[in-house]
Every structure is written in structure tokens, then in C-alpha cells.
Chains A and B, each alone.
Chain A
Amino acid sequence: MAAIDIEAVTKRFGDIVALDDLSLRVDTGELYGLLGPNGAGKTTLMGVLTGQVRPDSGSLAVLGTDPIADPIEVRRRVGILPERESPPSFLTPREYFQFIGTVRDLDDDQVDALTATWARRFGFEGKLDVLATDLSRGQQQQVMIAAAFFHTPQAVFIDEPLTNLDPIVQERLKRFFVRYQAEGRTVVLSTHNVEVAAEICTKVGIIHEGRLLTEIEPATLDTDASLVDVFTEHIDTTLDWEELDA
């Protein structure tokens, strides 16, 4: 069953074609990696899927709901980690989770329990009452990740989630994403980090200049081949590696 179904979606910003007649299907229970270089259209696609950006043409459904027609319902049912957002500067992490609780109609006891769980998971129990603006970039990112998964949504869209995080937290998070997906939920990971995509994704779509170039299941690659090879084969055909190395 498809958690996400995109059919011939195009989005332009002036002269720039961010998404170019893109079609894509993500099955329920998949950890799908959107892999592409900077400016490939990944973030725009995430915006379109979560009803934050209106496409010029095409049709799409997320968990059976059209994000163009009912963006609020889609955002109610999914979790989102945007690439460039940080928690509100003048709320503490505890208050930000309470804010999310009121926005998502969670009761206070539930919010308190989830807050404790996420603080323990990341080890920021001691930072729960610090203004978000005074947290480090990594701590802010942890709060944003917790916020995306806070209500245990059936599908989560995460854009470059491992940025600014130390290697231990990165490792714990990768395991968490895999476990979350293994419990039957869908995770869409947007990244330009090929190694991360190869390591944890069940399927990877390579996007470039707003188009889906190919899809790969990393687990099925030969031992001689790597996702890096596939990626460079599709993306970097114009680069002169010898010249770059020199």
C-alpha cells in the first residue's frame, strides 16, 4: 500500500524548475531516502508533500490525503523536520513540547510523559528549562527531531536530520529511524549524505534538477558496487575528477 503517491508534479519558482514532472511512490513501512546534491529539489518536494508549497501541476496523496486540498489534515497526521528551522527562540524545550501538545490536541499527562522520554533519549533532561536560543545548534536540532516524532505519526518527513549532531547521537538516531520504520511506519529522509542513505534506507530515490533519475534498494546492491558509485554515475558525469583531485 502506498503511503505516498506523487504523479507528474511540477513546481517552478520564476525561471527555476524545482520539480520537473516528478512521479514517485513510497510504500507504507519504508525508510525512503531522497538523495541528491544541493539544489536538486529535495526540500521543495518535502514542502509539496506536507502542504507547505503548492505545486503548479500534478497530483499527490500522503496517507490517502491530498496535501493541496487539505494541508492541515496531512500535517496533523505526519511529522516534519524542516531543514532550516530551529525551536522558537524564547520558549524552552519543555514549553515547545507543550506548545506542540496544544497544537496537536495531546493531553498534558501525555505531553509530560513524552517530554521525559525524549529528553532521556537525547540526554537533554538538564536543558528542558533553558531558552532555546541559548542551546547549542546540536541541542536545538535534537529538540526539532523530538518535535517531529513527538506524536508518533504514521509518516515522518525529515530533512537532513543528522546535521550538527555528534557521532554518538547520529548513531543512536539512525538506529531509532530504522526501528521506527520497522514498526510499520513510513520515514522519508531527505539528504545529500550518500553513506547515511546507503546505511539505513530501504529504498533510495536519486533526484537531480527536479527529476527522479533512478531508484535503488541499497540492500540489493552487489558487494562490488556502492550507492556512492550509483550516485556519482548519475549526478557527477560532468565532473573531471582528475582535475578536482589535482
Chain B
Amino acid sequence: MPDSTTRLVFIGMLREEWRLHSRLFGGVRFALFPLIVFGLVTGAVWLLTYVETAIETILLGIHLLVFLFGLHTGSVGFIGRDALRNLLGDLTLLVFSARTLPISRRRLLGVFIMKDLLYYAGLFLLPVALGVAPIWLLEGGSIAEIAWLWMTLLGMFALGIVSTLTLIGLAGRGLPRALIAGAIIALIAAAWYLEIDPIGLTAYGAFIEPSAPAVLVPVGVIVVLGVIATVSFTVESHRVERRTQPRYRRWFGYIGDPIATKTLLDVDRSSGGFAKVLFSGAILFGVTAALVEFAGEVTGIEPSVELAYGMILGLTGFTTYNWLTQSDDIEGYLFHPLDVASVYRAKLRAFFIIGPVVALVFYTIGVLWQGGSLLSALTGAILTVGVTAYVFGVTIYLAGISPNEFLFDSLLFTLFAGAMMVALVPLLVIAFAVSPLGVEVLAAVGLGGVLLFALGLLAFNRAVDRWSQLHLG
């Protein structure tokens, strides 16, 4: 049983989370967020089943996405207090109060994880599970299975959080990253050699085959990782002075813009370095590879490898935006002789230096691996760059150069999701439901890529005007 202090901190953290979000977005707009999630999931599930995607495939995808979201949520530990201040302004959270409250850092982190689990279970995972319900019930499923789905989604989310925090904790304890990466690869290799089904280690295994062992194993994995995370994690880990060779002047010589130069140095020197940009691309690459591999088996139609990779890897525009904007805010520039427009243009320049390149690198790997014709490969490449620019332009129009926390605002989230769906759903249908693709279709897709690129730039230009007005108040 938790003692009274733990209970008090737990309630305090719940209240803090609510106030933080409701103050950022307005209480009603934040409170509507679960309804928006429910609506979007219902619509997406209906659409995917309409194009004859098996419900089992959809549920696998949802479990995977929730796991990825858990990984992302746990990454709050990556950034520490300084970066959190950059993201959200001058604030102090209870999780950082180990030095001022008579409660240990480990217990604070443990309570923080429990709070996040409860919070997201109610506001995010429940609407996701309920969003699946209409189609699930129509296909003969039961309400009890939806409740079970909610629980297994919670399990995947928890696995994501504790995985990230464990990695951060171990890295923060001074374990070399190469050693950690090597250990992960060794574990995967051992699992493969011993023919251990990785799905059985996750809550998704318990969803597709409910049984006592299927539940106990993933719970055990989460508990073990959770213990390692809380023992190893340090909330403010780096009090050591990090020295570095000056690189600003040299990079400025190549890039030619002071803010773009600073932005790329931020990416390089913040936790994870440029590897985190590649990691984001690798996750989308993995998702695409799995979809391309299995979609044909499920739907009976061979998907277009190039279009699938182009469209999905184009979403790196969003993750790259995130990495380029997480370490600063506009106020940090406006006491220099700089205006809002120059800051935004620098962000665009930084984006074009790394964004499309990362997407195209993974695109090339995917196409070389899973293949296609030269014409469709070129079309897919155009689409990749077009979608990347579109996603970046729309995101920066809606959220400025503030973090994607703003997408927890129900209005912004709806606008963002709507803008993505309008552009990407037709491409999704072409990529996974039309085969083979004729020259005319490829030409249309290529033109679509160019159009998306232009729309992205248009959204960006509108963003500059919009945010210039907003920032001056």
C-alpha cells in the first residue's frame, strides 16, 4: 500500500499534469482531446476495413503505434529540466523536486511513471480502444474484448515508457552507447537463435492469445525494466561540465545562416545527437517494411513499395520538425536584431539540410531492398520529398516553432490530423489498394508530390505571417 506521502505526490502530479495541459490549451480544448482521438480512430479503422484491411492487421498496427507513443512519452527523461523549460517555459515540476522535498528521486520517478500510465490510460488509450469498438462489435467481437484491448494497449504503452527510461538511465550512468546498442542487438540475436517469439514478450501477445502465461510474461518484462529504470535513472543527470571544440564558425561557413547553424548544433549536441533523427526515420522505415511485407498477404493486392515508402517516410517531416525546434523558443532570438521571419526561415533552411536527406536515405534502402521499376522509384522519391515538405509546412503553420505538445490541443490536433488525412489517405489507397500502377497513375502521383511540396512551402509562408503577428502581441 502506498504511504500517505506517495499518495499525496501522486495526486499532486495528476493535478499538475491537468493544470499544465489545460493552461496551455484551455480547459475545454484539452478536455475534448479524448473525443477527437475517438473520432479519428473510429474513422481510420472504418476506412482501413473499407479498403479490405483485416481488423487483425489494424489492431497489430494500433498496438505498435501505442508502443511507439510510449517510447516517445518516456523520452521526457531525455531532455531534463533545461530543455523542458525551453519547451514549456519557466516551470518546476514535482518530478524535479527531490532536492527540496523529503522524498527520494527514485520514488518520485516511480510515481511519475504511474501517473503517466493512469493519465494516458484514461485520456488517450481508452478513446483508442473505444474507437475500435464499432467495427469490432460489427464483426462479432464482444465488449469484454474491447476492455481487454484497452488493457493490452496500456501494457504496450507501459513497455514503451519503461524501455526509453531504462535506456536513458543506463546511458546516464555512463554506460557507453555502443555497449548498450550491442547488448540490444545481442538480445535480439539470442531471441532469434532460441526461437523466442518477441510478440510473446509484449502485451500484444496477450491480446491475440489470452492466457495466464501470456499475461505474466509481458507484465514481468515491464516490471523488470521499470525497476532497472527507477534504479538507474537520474532526472538531472549531467552536472559534469561538457567541453567541446568550437564548431559554430566552421558550420556557419557551410550553412550561411546563424540561426540554422545554431539549430543544427542544438540537434547534434542534445541527447541522442543526429542519431535521434535517424532513429525516427528508422522507426518509420520499420513500419513501412512490415506493412509492405504483410499487406499483400492480407489484402491479396501487392502494394506499391515506392509509394508506400515515399508516403510513410515523408512523415519524418514531423519528427525532424520536432528535433529542430525542441531546444529553443522564439523569445530567445528577439532580443537580437532578428525578427520572427528570419527565425522561421532559418528553421526551414535547417529542415532542408537534414529532413529530405534522412527520408531519402531510408527510401533508397527500402526501394533497393523491396524493389520496383526506375520510373516508380523516381516517382516515389518525388513523393517522399513532397510529403516531407508538406508535413513540415503544415506543422509549423499550426504549432509555430513550439513543441508538438501543442497537438494535445484538441483543435490543433484535429486540424493537423485533417490536413494529413486529406493529403495522405488518397495516397494510402493508391499505394495499398491499386495494382499495378500504370504510367498515368505514376504521373499523377508525381504531380501530387510536387503539389504537396508547393503546399508545404505555402503553409510555411503563411506560418511566417501568422506567427509574426502573434508573437508581437
Select A130's contact among B239, B241, B258, B336, beta carbons within 8 Å: B241
Q: How far is the CA of A82 from the CA of B330 in the complex (A)?
A: 13
Most buried by A among B83, B240, B245, B337: B337
Query: Which of B46-54, B161-169, B261-269, B366-374 makes up part of the contact surface?
Result: B261-269
Is A175 among interface residues, defined by CB-CB distance under 8 A? no
Is B247 engaged at the interface, CB distance under 8 Å to the other chain? yes
Q: Is the CB of A130 within 8 A of B243?
A: yes
Q: Is the interface of A mostly helix, strand, loop or mixed?
A: mixed
Give the residues in chain A near B90, CB-CB below 8 Å.
84
Q: How far is the CA of A71 from the CA of B333 in the complex (A)?
A: 13
- In the complex, A71→B339 CA distance in Å? 8
Quick check: B248 and A89 within 8 Å, CB to CB? no
| 26 cross-chain CB contacts under 8 A | A13-B473, A52-B334, A53-B472, A71-B339, A75-B335, A75-B336, A82-B335, A85-B335, A88-B328, A89-B266, A90-B266, A90-B269, A92-B244, A94-B246, A95-B246, A95-B248, A98-B249, A99-B248, A103-B336, A103-B338, A108-B249, A129-B243, A129-B244, A131-B244, A131-B269, A134-B238
A174 to chain B, nearest CB (A): 22
Q: Which of B238, B240, B241, B339 has the most CB of A within 10 A?
A: B241
Residues on B with C-beta less than 8 A from A134 are: 238-242
Q: Which chain A residue has the least Cβ–Cβ distance from B251?
A: A95
Chain B residues in 8 Å Cβ range of A72: 337-339
The reply to whether B335 and A52 form a contact with Cβ atoms under 8 Å apart is yes
The 9 closest A-B pairs by CB, nearest first: A95-B248, A90-B269, A76-B337, A80-B335, A75-B337, A102-B258, A54-B472, A90-B266, A134-B241
Interface string of A50-83 (1 = CB under 8 A from B): 1011100000000000000001110110001010
**Residue among A53, A90, A135 with most chain B CB within 10 A:** A90
Of B243, B266, B472, which is within 8 A of A88 by CB? B266
Nearest Cβ distance between residue A48 and chain B, in whole angstroms?
10
B86: interface (CB < 8 Å): yes
Per-residue CB contact flags for chain B residues 290-327 toward chain A (1 = under 8 Å, else 0) read 00000000000000000000000000000000000001
Among B238, B243, B265, B335, contact of A91 (Cβ-Cβ < 8 Å): B265
Choose among B261, B265, B331, B473 the residue with the greatest number of A CB atoms under 10 Å from its CB.
B473
Tell me the complex Cα distance, A71–B334, Å: 10
Chain A CB within 8 A of B174 CB: no
Distance to closest chain A CB from B223 (angstroms): 34
A interface vs B, CB < 8 Å? 13, 50, 52-54, 71-73, 75-76, 80, 82, 84-85, 88-92, 94-95, 98-100, 102-104, 108, 127, 129-131, 133-135
Q: Is B192 an interface residue (CB 8 A)?
A: no
Q: Which residues of A contact B252 (CB under 8 A)?
A: 98, 102
Residues of B with C-beta under 8 A to A75: 334-338
Given the known interface contacts A50-B335, A82-B335, A90-B266, the answer about A99 and B247 at a Cβ–Cβ threshold of 8 Å is no
List of A residues within 8 angstroms of B248 by Cβ: 91, 94-95, 98-99
Closest chain-A Cβ to B263's Cβ sits at a distance in Å of 10
Alpha-carbon distance A129/B245, docked complex (angstroms): 7
Contact A100 B246 (CB under 8 A): no
A52: which B residues are within 8 A, CB to CB? 331, 334-335, 472
> Chain B interface residue count: which class?
35 or more
Are B86's CB and A89's CB within 8 A? yes
The B333-348 residues at the A interface (CB cut-off 8 A) are 334-339
Nearest opposing residue in chain B for A56, CB measure: B473
Instruction: Determine the distance from Cα of A129 to Cα of B241 in the docked complex, in whole angstroms.
Output: 10
Docked Cα-Cα span, A235 to B280, in Å, equals 55
Q: Which residues of B contact A133 (CB under 8 A)?
A: 82, 238
A135 to chain B: closest residue by CB: B241
Q: For the complex, is B102 an interface residue (Cβ under 8 Å from A)?
A: no
A85 B242 Cβ-Cβ under 8 A: no
Nearest B residue to A128, CB-CB: B246
Closest to A68 in B: B472
Most chain A beta-carbon neighbours within 10 Å: one of B83, B261, B334: B334
Question: B438 interface residue, CB < 8 Å from A?
Answer: no
Q: A102-B258, A130-B242 are in contact. List 10 more A-B contacts (CB 8 A).
A: A88-B328, A90-B266, A91-B265, A99-B258, A99-B262, A104-B337, A129-B245, A131-B241, A131-B242, A134-B240
Instruction: Mark contacts of B213-249 with chain A using CB atoms, 8 A cut-off: 1 yes-contact digit, 0 otherwise.
Output: 0000000000000000000000000111111111111
Would you call B270 an interface residue if the criterion is a C-beta within 8 Å of the partner chain's C-beta atoms?
yes
When distances are taken between beta carbons in the complex, the residues of chain B under 8 Å from A89 are 82-83, 86, 266, 270, 327
- A114 to B252 alpha-carbon distance, docked (Å): 19
Q: Please indicate the chain A residues that have their CB under 8 angstroms from the CB of B242 in the complex.
A: 130-131, 134
Interface residues of B in 436-466 (CB under 8 A from A): none
- Would A95 and B332 count as touching, CB distance under 8 A? no
A85 / chain B contacts, CB cutoff of 8 Å: 331-332, 335
Q: How far is the CA of A129 from the CA of B328 in the complex (A)?
A: 20
Whole-angstrom distance between the Cβ of A158 and the nearest chain B Cβ:
11
Task: A127 to B241: give the CA distance in the assembly, Å.
Answer: 9
Q: Point out the residues of chain B lying under 8 angstroms from A90, CB to CB.
A: 265-266, 268-270, 327
Q: How far is the CA of A94 from the CA of B337 in the complex (A)?
A: 19
Question: B287 to nearest A CB, angstroms?
Answer: 30
Determine how close the nearest CB of chain A comes to the CB of B403; give it in whole angstroms: 15
A71 to B261, CA, bound (A): 24
Please give the distance in Å from B83's CB to the nearest CB on chain A.
7
Note all chain A residues with C-beta closer than 8 A to B270: 89-90
Among residues of A, the one whose C-beta sits closest to the C-beta of B338 is A103
- Distance in angstroms from B17 CB to nearest chain A CB is 24
Residue among A13, A52, A73, A89 with most chain B CB within 10 A: A89
- CB of A88, distance to nearest CB on chain B (Å): 6
Contacts of A130 in B (CB 8 A): 241-243
With the chains together, A84 CA to B265 CA distance in Å?
23
